[in-house]
């Protein structure tokens, strides 16, 4: 959410917000200007949606989806800057920041590199140990978070396909994205009900679904959000403690 940047409109936050229970708000480095961020948090509060910070590599041109080599000090500083900005907005509006979910290339880099994941976890913990971390299911992030004493929420993706190692298929691959809401629902409900995900190779791998990501900038995000919320409501799983 909140990924529009001044005159560049991304997604339809107002239409999606009624169907979700938590949101990841862009912090200005891949999308999100100050006015958009404030408006998005207000919209989340209005819809009783938990607010998370969605920090990114500094990459407005590439929407945070290009891998950029940075050192540890740079990573820590960009996390502190972005998370603190969202925490300040939520405090100003009378609520609290709920979680942190890093965006795009940074998410994928941390999924492959324990040092990056650990720096993210430690930085979040030092900013506020009550913050939760939303991260990839079944990868090392969960164990690292446990070691640091911060709550980890295992995330699965409604609109992305998985590799055999449970990383996300690269967006350059034509099979990376699930575009049809009906296929997305089937994909999600298998993960929720059976704790299984069908990989790009056709195999079924164990997975844990505690929160479900829908990319707000994808074309059919509203249909995904509406359909998935309806299916989860049928089995009383629309809203859980996460």
Domains identified in the chain, total number: 1
Does residue 121 lie in a domain region?
A: yes
Is position 39 within any domain?
yes
The distance from CA 104 to its chain's CA centroid, rounded to whole angstroms, is 9
pLDDT per residue as tens, the chain (242 positions) = 999 999 999 999 999 999 999 999 999 999 999 999 999 999 999 999 999 999 999 999 999 999 999 999 999 999 999 999 999 999 999 999 999 999 999 999 999 999 999 999 999 999 999 999 999 999 999 999 999 999 999 999 999 999 999 999 999 998 999 999 999 999 999 999 999 999 999 999 999 999 999 999 998 999 999 999 999 988 876 555 44
- 230 falls within a domain: no
SS (H, E, C) 169-190: CCCCCCCCECCCHHHHHHHHHH
In a domain, 152, yes or no: yes
Q: Which residue, among 144, 158, 138, has the nearest Cα to 232 in the 3D structure? A: 158
Report if residue 3 sits inside a domain.
Answer: no
Domain that holds residue 95: 13-160+210-217
Confirm if 157 and 211 have CB atoms less than 8 A apart. no
Q: Residue 231 domain-assigned?
A: no
The answer to whether the CB of 52 falls within 8 A of the CB of 134 is yes
167 domain residue, yes or no = no
The predicted structure's pLDDT at residue 241: 46
- Reported residue count of the chain is 242
Cα distances (angstroms) measured from residue 222 to each of 15, 159, 165, 178: 7, 12, 29, 14
Domain-located, residue 137: yes
CATH label of the domain that carries residue 48: 3.20.20.370
DSSP assignments along 100-127, one per residue: E---HHHHHHHHH-HHHHHHHHHHHHHH
């Amino acid at each position: 959410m909140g990924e529009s940047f001044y005159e560049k409109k991304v997604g339809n936050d107002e239409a999606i917000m009624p169907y979700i229970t938590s949101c990841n708000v862009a912090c200005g480095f891949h999308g999100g200007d100050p006015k958009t961020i404030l408006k998005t948090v207000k919209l989340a509060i209005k819809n009783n949606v938990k607010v998370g910070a969605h920090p990114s590599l500094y990459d407005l041109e590439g929407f945070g989806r290009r891998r950029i080599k940075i050192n540890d000090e740079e990573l820590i500083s960009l996390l502190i800057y972005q998370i603190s900005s969202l925490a300040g907005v939520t405090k100003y509006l009378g609520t609290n920041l709920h979680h942190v979910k890093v965006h795009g290339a940074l998410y994928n880099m941390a999924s492959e590199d324990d040092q990056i994941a650990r720096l993210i976890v430690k930085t979040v913990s030092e900013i506020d140990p009550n913050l939760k971390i939303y991260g990839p299911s079944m990868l090392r992030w969960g164990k690292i978070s446990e070691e640091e004493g911060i709550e980890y929420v295992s995330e699965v993706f409604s609109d992305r396909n998985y590799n055999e190692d449970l990383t996300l298929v690269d967006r350059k691959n034509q099979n990376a994205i699930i575009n049809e809401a009906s296929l997305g629902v089937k994909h999600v409900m298998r993960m929720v009900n059976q704790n299984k995900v069908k990989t790009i190779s056709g195999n079924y791998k164990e997975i844990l679904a505690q929160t479900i990501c829908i990319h707000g900038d994808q074309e059919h995000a509203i249909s995904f959000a509406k359909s998935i919320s309806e299916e989860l409501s049928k089995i009383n799983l629309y809203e859980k403690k996460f």
